[in-house]
Structure 1
Amino acid sequence: MNSLKDKVAVIFAASGEIAGAVARAFAQHGAKVYVTARDLEAAIALADEMVFDGGKAEAGKVDALNEAEIDAFLQQVVADNGRLDMVFNGIGSYYKDAGSGTPTTVATFGQFMNPLQRICGSQFLTSRVAAKYMIASGSAGTLLLLNASMARTKTPNMAGFAAACAAIEGLTRVMAAEFGKHGIKAICICSGALMETRKIQEMITDFSALGGIPREEMALNYTRFDLLSSGPTLKQLGETAAFLVSENGVVFNSHIVDFDCGKINIL
């Protein structure tokens, strides 16, 4: 459990369930983890939990859409540690703001652009600033991005979100090609629906009400294409992230790593 010993990690949007799972896994594998969020109290609570469990963690207040805040925080991390080994950004978007579930002919331009600016834009900001400090400090680090399988499914009424997810995949490949000469990897975890998360459960409830469909039937839409009887969990996602940023994960670079236990409908 020491595959990340002496490594320095920064987690953005750490108040979310996915980012929290990644932060916990990094700490459990020996990394010193800085957890950041706009909600400082949430970041502090997560850091305290990780320290209580024997990990090394510190909290900070950072808006993952504010480049100045991102830059200042990462600059201080490198100043304090002399290195930056991995960053992960778990930012999400409220599905109604993103127009998810709304027909493309009805969704507004603002709804379409929301996930592109918020999700893809934030991944761009945190990754490029992190790369700058990795290059300056000589850290052969990993930029670990996150998107959803909507990038490669044929799902109606999800124009903005699907476009943002596909954009993050393209961004990952560009950064891998650009920063590889500095020993920096760029990888994207492409997650399927994590049924234990609040966001998925809330979407199932809302979409079933909007469509006049029983909740149980709506929930099946999230699992009907699974190849296995069990789906992925938050803990498994954290462990996958820890592997990808470890020395053994070096074979993954520019890759989009499907995290879904296998689905028939993923291209």
Structure 2
Amino acid sequence: MLLEDRNAIIYGGGGQIGGAIARAFAREGARVHLTGRTRTTLEKVADDIRAQGGRAETAEVDALDEAAVDAHADAVARDAGGIDISLSVIADGDVQGTPVAGMSLDDYLRPVTTAVTSKFLTARAAARHMIPRRSGVIMMFGGTGNLSAIRDYHVGGFLTALDAAESLRRQLAVELGRYGIRVVTLRTSGVPETLGADFLEREAIERLIVDPTLLGRAATLEDVGNVAVFAASDWARTLTGTAINMTCGADLD
């Protein structure tokens, strides 16, 4: 197993992407610690993992609450013996569909503030425990993708929030590399499965995601889980300070 006996904290572990990654991590032997603000969604993912023979713990943690993030990371490190992987997939609360020229300042800044705060706090909490062990992987979602593909759709501060995550990834990688800690972001052009059947603009958004790709398809939740396992494993031991591109060719490096 690629992640046997690794301890992984997943912030936003009750969501579709966080849940998919948690299931993939557990399948590969990791003990996953699922955090979020809604106990019922966390327990659903944890129950799925346990039913397959995996190990999962849950905790209600608001990733914007500095004291709560630090206390939970401290408890995991103490009780489980350390933190090997920290992954943030916290939703940024962005407002989409309104042109920038018509947006309020609060609506534009909300996803930026949320992304920077949650990713900084969770990464810092993990790094403090990884540094003495001189190992660990910090992961987050980021990357702006193909801007021309969304010229007719208004995403507000969402792209700025993603760029902020990439900037944080670079800074962390530079500072933490000397301690053997890797930092990567996972980049998709969107995962259509997460839109939901009742999403008002599902078909239009799916076309925005799929049409710019070179492969004629987008990443699935299963793809995201599998790539996240690779990124967190020793098979990716040479990768840090970089984004892992899962855009099916929509974004060319």
User: What is the TM-score of this pair, normalised by structure 2?
Assistant: 0.92
Q: Does 1:124 align with 2:120?
A: yes
Write out aligned runs for 1:94-109 (5 A): 94=93, 98-109=94-105
RMSD of the TM alignment (CA)? 1.9
Equivalence for 2:140: 145
> Which residue identity lines up with residue 223 of structure 2 in the other structure?
Q
| Structure 2 CA distance for aligned equivalents of residues 3 and 103 of structure 1 | 44
Can you give the 5+ residue segments of structure 2 that lack an aligned partner in the other structure?
none
> Which residue identity lines up with residue 99 of structure 1 in the other structure?
V
Can you give the 5+ residue segments of structure 1 that lack an aligned partner in the other structure?
206-215
| Structure 2 CA distance for aligned equivalents of residues 7 and 200 of structure 1 | 35
Question: 1:93 is paired with a residue of what secondary structure?
Answer: coil
Sequence identity of aligned pairs in percent?
Answer: 30
Change (3 A) 1:226 1:200: farther
Q: What is the CA-CA distance between 1:15 and the residue it aligns to? A: 1.5
Q: What is the CA-CA distance between 1:266 and the residue it aligns to? A: 5.2
| Structure 1 CA distance for aligned equivalents of residues 110 and 57 of structure 2 | 30
CA displacement, residues 151-208 of structure 1 (integer Å, 9 cap, x when unaligned): x524343241111111111110000000111111100001111111136972624xxx
Q: What is the CA-CA distance between 1:218 and the residue it aligns to? A: 5.5
Contact 1:85 1:134 in 2 (8 A): yes
> Which residue identity lines up with residue 153 of structure 1 in the other structure?
L
Q: Does 1:220 align with 2:207?
A: yes
Write out aligned runs for 1:1-267 (5 A): 2-94=1-93, 98-136=94-132, 138-150=133-145, 153-154=147-148, 155-156=150-151, 157-198=154-195, 202=199, 204-205=201-202, 216=203, 219-263=206-250
Contact 2:15 2:41 in 1 (8 A): no
Change (3 A) 1:251 1:180: same
User: What is the TM-score of this pair, normalised by structure 1?
Assistant: 0.88
- Residues matched between the structures, number: 250
Question: 2:113 is paired with a residue of what secondary structure?
Answer: helix
Change (3 A) 1:203 1:243: farther
